[in-house]
Structure formats: structure tokens, C-alpha cells
Amino acid sequence: FTALGVFWAMKAMLEEVFGTDSFKGRIVAIQGIAGGVGYHLAKLLAEADAILIGTGGRDKEAALRVGKELGAKILDSGVKPDGTYDQNLDPIYDIECDVFSPNAMGGIINDDTLPRLRCKIINGGGNNQLWKPSHGKILHQKGILYAPDYLINAGGLINVSHEIRKFYPNGYNKEEATAHVKQIYNRMKLVIEISKREGIPTYLAADRLAEERIKAAKEAKTQ
């Protein structure tokens, strides 16, 4: 469900940048393609006719298996000769693509990697992708549309909420949970709208949206 939310947010971003939410022929570079979220996202993207390029971090063999299954091109991924891994050495940052999708470690958008990015969209399920908030501002200035991670990777949490009878007393319904996760598309659209209207980076727009919803919920409780 996390991958599903990331996928639908990506569709919203494609529509904003390219005027269509179709993945056909779009190049998506996936960091962490063999991971839990990265793999399921890659499957969704392959089914949608995207062109996939991936890296697998420390486990290149797993990434190669995914590449063979889904038709993705797999690159070497930052493993040094001594066997240690340095995410800043990952060649995925240098790939010219439509979407860069980080689904592995945090802090991957930093002083070393940001100048190398050759994408129009950043959208992935990894947590804490920005090393510092200032990197989100630089992305905004460079015209790279960034999806705030906590906004788009909430699909798993949304699904869990549907399993809690306190919130859904009639029991779990997979179709309802799926429909709820797909609403991340609309939330991403709203964040983009706030960002454009107020001239602020998307990560600040997402913070503002969250703060407004929390405030509204508190006010509703006091009434």
C-alpha cells in the first residue's frame, strides 16, 4: 500500500509537469529497486509501461533479479572495493530521467548529490530524503518538483488504520482501503497548488496543509 500511494502521487506530478499522467515512455530511476517499497513500486510502473532504471544498494544480486523480472536496467550502486556502501557514490543521481524515485536510505538529497540530479520530478517512498530543509528550497529554485516523503508514503499507515475497528467498525475492506490510499493523488495535487499559489517549496506547502488540518480537527473537537 505504501508503493501504491507513491505511484498515485507520481501520477499527479506527471500531470503537473508533462500535462498527462501517463507513464508510457517515461524514464523512472529507482534507488532501492529490490526493497520492499521499491520493488512493488517498480511492478506498478512496469505495468504502466514506464522505462525503469534501478540500483539496489548493497544487494546488487537482488536488484539484478528484479531487473530481469521487470525489464529494468540495473546499475552498479555505490559499493566500494572493500564492500562498504556509500550512497553518495550511487550512479542513479547522474541518470537523465523524468522521475528520480528514492526508496532506500534517508538524507540522499544533499550537497554532494543535489548538483548531479538530472530529473524533473523527485518522488519516492524513502523517509527523510532531504538532508536539510535548505535542499528542498534549492530543488524548488531549480524547478525540480519534489514530493514530500511523509505525504506520499502514508499508504501503509492508511491501510493499517482501516484494520482498526475503532475507526472502521464494519471491519476491513480492501477496496475501501485502496480507494483511500489513491486519494494521495488529490493531496499531492493540493500541495502543488499551494506551492504555486504561495511561491513556496512543496515540503513547506505540505507542512502548511498538515498544520491546517490539525488545527481544523482540534477546532471540531471543541465544538
Query: For position 166, what pLDDT does the model report?
Result: 55
Q: What is 12-46 written as a DSSP string?
A: HHHHHHHS----TT-EEEEETTTSHHHHHHHHHHH
In a domain, 195, yes or no: no
User: What CA–CA distance (Å, rounded) separates 71 from 46?
Assistant: 8
Q: Residue 104's domain is classified under what CATH number?
A: 3.40.50.720
For 75, the 3-state DSSP assignment is coil
**β pairing state of 99-102 and 73-74:** unpaired
Q: What is the pLDDT of residues 32-89, one digit of tens each?
A: 999 999 999 999 999 999 999 999 987 889 999 999 999 999 998 777 778 777 888 8
pTM of the model: 0.89
Phi (first) and psi of residue 108, to 5 degrees: -80, -15
Retrieve residue 20's grid coordinates.
498527462
User: What CA–CA distance (Å, rounded) separates 92 from 77?
Assistant: 8
pLDDT at 162 over 80: no
Query: For position 156, what pLDDT does the model report?
Result: 56
User: What CA–CA distance (Å, rounded) separates 11 from 9?
Assistant: 5
In a domain, 96, yes or no: yes
Q: Which domain holds residue 124?
A: 2-185
End-to-end CA distance of the chain: 34
Nearest CA-CA partner of 23 in 32, 34, 31, 14? 14
pLDDT band at 154, cuts 50/70/90? Answer: low
Give the residue with greater pLDDT, 132 vs 215. Answer: 132
Give the orientation angle of helix 155-163 with respect to helix 174-182, to 10 degrees. 150
Arithmetic mean of pLDDT over the chain: 89
In a domain, 7, yes or no: yes
Radius of gyration of the chain (CA): 18
In a domain, 193, yes or no: no
122 by Cβ neighbours in 10 Å (0-12 / 13-18 / 19+) ranks as buried
Number of H helices and number of E strands within the chain?
9, 6
Nearest CA-CA partner of 153 in 71, 60, 72, 38? 38
Q: What is the pLDDT of residues 101-151, one digit of tens each?
A: 999 889 999 999 999 999 999 999 999 999 999 999 999 999 999 999 989
pLDDT at 218 over 80: no
Q: What is the mean pLDDT of residues 180-209?
A: 92
In a domain, 169, yes or no: yes
Nearest CA-CA partner of 74 in 59, 54, 46? 54
In a domain, 52, yes or no: yes
In a domain, 165, yes or no: yes
Please tell me the total count of domains within the chain.
1
In a domain, 128, yes or no: yes
Dihedral angle sign, alpha carbons of residues 15, 21, 27, 30:
positive
